[in-house]
Structure 1
Amino acid sequence: MSTLQTTTTLRRGPVPRNSLRTTASIVGWLFIVTYVTAIAAKVAFYPPLFDGDYVTGPGQDTRVLWGAVFEAVLIIANIGTATFLWPVLKRQHESLAMSYVAARIMESVFIAVGVLSVLTVVTLRQTYAAADPGATAGLTVAGDAFVTVQEWTFGLGPNFVVGVGNGVILGYLMYRSRLVPRKLAVLGLVGGPLLILSAAAAMVGVIELDGTWQVLSAVPEFFWELGLGIYLVVKGFKPSPVTAGTDDER
């Protein structure tokens, strides 16, 4: 056996099947957590931010702050999906697997900026709005600016970057590796480019940010990620060349 063959064998050496099953289950649950936290924050907790002038209004601080907490958990779950998948995906394509980790981290950075914007808006309302009625106009502008930042971080992170990472890169790796049914992975390969295009269109003003077209473009990606999470929890990884040499296949 040549040196190159030996190195390849060591790098792609046997991985215990029970370890792969555990990894699949953890990743699946983490994807489900990303759904619960992202949807809860956007749909259940953050709406008061976008109903008029939050800073000088009555506010629903506790509700909004819970949204920030949920998004903080979302960041942890996002990075967890990538780091737990890394040892498996690198057996298919190491560079793309690292690119997926990087994309997931970048998505989390955008989310973190959005969380900071939300916390800033709440702090402005609590600290200045009641204390200085004469500064209402300035506070309104500042509050609107931070709310707009939050909207755009959602448009760029969970839309554009997700289209690249979870859509194109993860969809391709799962399709090539056959770790999940290929029909499921195709949803990522379709949904990823749609998210990228819709986010780009929103950036240049062709469509409305978070509007109907952007929501519709997210449908394939929605079912791809949800389906992936459920499949990994219920079934685990499918036997494939990537899992060759595991205990169950000897």
Structure 2
Amino acid sequence: MTTTARPTTTTRSSGDPTRNNARAAGIFYLITFAASLPAYALIQAAVNPDLTVAAGHDNQLLTAGLLDFVNALAAVGSAVALYPVLKRQNQSLALGLVTSRLVEASIIMTGVVSLLAVVTLNQEVTGVTGSTQALVAVRDWTFLFGPGFMASFNAVLLGTLMYQSRLVPRIIPTLGLIGAPLLIAANVATLFGHNEQTSGVTMLATLPVACWELSLGIWMTFKGFRRQLS
């Protein structure tokens, strides 16, 4: 009697209901890049090294705040889109990812509100340099704990799920699992004053996690999830 070998792994067809989840999650991940990178550039251009805000940059801060707001919403959206699929792999980790993304979004929104408060003070109050510096400092700390620490935790949670389930090629979550401890170490060094958030060391430590999120977003948007055939 002859037997036919069964394929082990294949890409989900467009008719599979998880395809919509994958596409939505991928698009949300790409939106976070499209929103966060310009926001970061605008803030860097508007804020001086002494944490004062250069004159005439209110519109830049408003735009950056709006972009970071979109970034926060997209971060939560990606986790919500993934949850129905990931809970079949490990419900605890899947719920942890949603919670982690919510915490990250909350921290980002704290930074957004701080930036908008700076704009209000600049427009309506004079002689409040100290107050604006304090608000800019708050935003800097939210940047460390939001896109910094929380991105590392997200990489551990989602990277573990993706690696174990093989929903995407394992090289993709491997980038996140390698990059997460590097970024955590760089952020801890920043927390205790041994490193700057914008230093070359931090940027280098951020690169693997950034590549993980970007490649994951592209794969899920255009390829979808993979599955084991029974």
Normalized against structure 2, the TM-score is what? 0.89
1:82 aligns with 2:79: yes
* Aligned with residue 108 of structure 2, among 83, 107, 111: 111
- Unaligned ranges ≥5, structure 2: 1-13
Which runs of structure 2 are paired with 1:2-151 in the superposition (5 Å)? 17-50=15-48, 54=52, 57-129=54-126, 136=127, 139-151=128-140
Q: Does the 8 Å CA contact 2:187/2:202 hold for their aligned counterparts? A: yes
* Residue pair 2:179, 2:209 contacting (<8 A) in 1 also: yes
Does the Cα contact within 8 Å between 2:42 and 2:61 map onto a contact in 1?
no
Kindly report which structure 2 residues correspond to 1:176-191, keeping only aligned pairs within 5 A, or say none: 176-191=164-179
Give 1:224-235 correspondences, 5 Å limit: 224-235=212-223
> Using a 3 Å threshold, how does the CA distance of structure 1 residues 127 and 53 change in structure 2: closer, same or farther?
farther
Q: Following TM superposition, by how much is the alpha carbon of 1:239 offset from its aligned partner in structure 2, in angstroms?
A: 1.5
Whether 1:152 and 2:141 are equivalent positions in the alignment is yes
Selected match of 2:205 from 203, 208, 217:
217
Distance 2:15 2:166 in 1: 16
SS of the counterpart of 1:239? strand
With 190-199 and 96-105 compared, the bigger mean Cα shift is at 190-199
The answer to whether the Cα contact below 8 Å between 2:51 and 2:136 also exists between their aligned partners in 1 is no
Measured in 1, the distance between the counterparts of 2:160 and 2:17 equals 23
What residue identity is the alignment partner of 2:67? Answer: F
Compared with structure 1, are the counterparts of its residues 19 and 50 closer, same or farther at alpha carbon in structure 2 (3 Å cutoff)? farther
Q: Kindly tell me the number of residue pairs found equivalent between the two proteins.
A: 217
User: Does the Cα contact within 8 Å between 1:187 and 1:223 map onto a contact in 2?
Assistant: yes
Secondary structure of 1:181's aligned partner: coil
Highest CA radius of gyration, 1 or 2? 1
Deviation, structure 1 residue 58: 2.2
Q: Which runs of 5+ in 1 are unaligned?
A: 1-15, 130-135
- Letter of the 1:160 counterpart: F
1:200 aligns with 2:195: no
Task: Give the Cα–Cα distance (whole angstroms) in 2 for the partners of residues 58 and 218 of structure 1.
Answer: 31
> In 2, Cα distance between the equivalents of 1:151 and 1:23?
33
Matched-pair contact (CA < 8 Å) for 1:114–1:154: yes
Q: How far off its partner does 1:36 sit?
A: 0.6
Amino acid at match of 1:38: S
Q: Give the Cα separation in 2 of the matches to 1:222 and 1:183.
A: 14
CA positional deviation for 1:148? 1.0
Does structure 2 conserve the Cα–Cα contact (< 8 Å) formed by 1:121 and 1:147?
yes
Distance change (3 Å), C-alpha of 1:17 and 1:178: farther
Shift of 1:51: 5.7
Q: Distance in 2 between matches of 1:53 and 1:191?
A: 29
Structure (1 or 2) with the greater helix fraction: 1
Q: How far apart are residue 18 of structure 1 and its match?
A: 2.6
Q: Answer yes or no: is the 8 Å Cα contact 1:46–1:63 preserved in 2.
A: no
Aligned Cα root-mean-square deviation (Å) = 1.7
Task: Output the CA distance in 1 between the equivalents of 2:169 and 2:132.
Answer: 46
How many Å apart are 1:54 and its aligned residue? 4.2
| Paired AA for residue 205 in structure 1 | G
TM-score by length of 1: 0.82
